[in-house]
């Protein structure tokens, strides 16, 4: 039994006051992500110009972890190339599995607050929802 709650200020702030939770009119990438066991759902929208993510947003419903994680992700990837975003996503997903170096953790900036979720199997799906959705989005684009 954990005695310390996982909900630190960074997480609750991103949940209650998300910067990127809104519609995005000029998006050219869009993907739905659903976590059926919890009922978390997000719709992720990105604007990509010349391979660079120039803007991004999401809308959805779900627990604080799923929503805050998506907001934190957007903070991190806006302004980066698609490849860079995919590389950060890979680091994030490895962090959740407990397989990450300290240098890599630093690259994740605020997203590193979700590191401890690796000890809470029931919440992992919530934390990775946004990241998985982005990966799917770019993979699908590559295939088409």
Partner 1 sequence: MNKNPETEIKFSDKFTEEDLKIRADFPLLNKYDMAYLDNAATSQKPECVLNEEKKFYEEYNANPLRGLYNLSEMATEKYESARVTVQKFINAASEREIIFTRNASESLNLLAYSLGDLLLNEGDEIAISIMEHHSNMLPWQHAAKRKGAVLKYIECDMQGNVTEEELESVITEKTKIVAFTQISNVFGRLNDMKRLAEICHRKGAVLVADGAQSVPHIPVDVRALDVDFLAFSGHKMFAPMGIGVLYGKEEYLEKMPPFLTGGEMIDSVTREGAVYAELPHKFEAGTVNAAGAAGLAEAIRYIEKIGFDKIEERENKLTAYALWEMGKISHVKVIGSEDPDEHHGIITFTVEGVHPHDVAYILSADNIAVRAGHHCAQPLMKHLGVMSTTRASFAFYNTMEEVDRFIESLKDLRRKMGYAE
Beta bridge partners of 33: 42
> Which range, of 57-65, 70-78, 83-91, 102-110, touches partner 1 by CB under 8 A?
57-65
Tokens standing for 48? 């990509």
Nearer to partner 1, 35 or 89 (CB): 35
Q: How far is the CB of 9 from partner 1 (least distance, A)?
A: 7
- Our finding on whether 28 is near partner 1 (CB under 8 A) is no
Pairwise CA distance, residues 66 & 97, whole Å: 17
Order the strands of the 40-49 sheet from edge to edge. 29-35, 40-49, 52-61
| Contact with partner 1 (CB under 8 A) among 5, 26, 50, 98 | 5
- Our finding on whether 38 is near partner 1 (CB under 8 A) is yes
DSSP class per residue in 13-52: HHHHS-SSBS--TT-SEEEEEEETTTTEEEEEEEEEETTE
Nearer to partner 1, 2 or 26 (CB): 2
Which residues does 89 contact at the CB level (< 8 Å), separation at least 6? 73, 131, 134, 135
| Contact with partner 1 (CB under 8 A) among 46, 65, 76, 77 | 65
Query: Mask: binding to partner 1, 88-127, rule CB under 8 A, as x and -?
Result: -----------------------------------x--x-
Q: Which residue ranges make up the site for partner 1 (CB under 8 A)?
A: 1-7, 9, 12-13, 15-16, 38-39, 61-65, 123, 126
């Amino acid at each position: 039994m954990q005695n310390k709650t996982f909900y630190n200020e960074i997480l609750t702030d991103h949940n209650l006051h998300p910067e990127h939770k809104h519609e995005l009119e000029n998006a050219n990438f869009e993907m739905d992500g659903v976590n059926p066991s919890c009922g978390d759902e997000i719709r992720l929208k990105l604007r990509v110009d010349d391979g660079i993510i120039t803007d991004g947003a999401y809308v959805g419903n779900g627990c604080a972890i799923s929503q805050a994680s998506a907001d934190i992700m957007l903070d991190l990837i806006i302004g980066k190339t698609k490849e860079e975003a995919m590389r950060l996503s890979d680091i994030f997903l490895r962090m959740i599995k407990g397989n990450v170096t300290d240098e890599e953790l630093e690259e994740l900036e605020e997203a590193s607050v979700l590191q401890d979720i690796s000890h809470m199997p029931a919440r992992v799906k919530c934390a990775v929802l946004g990241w998985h959705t982005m990966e799917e989005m770019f993979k699908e684009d590559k295939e088409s």
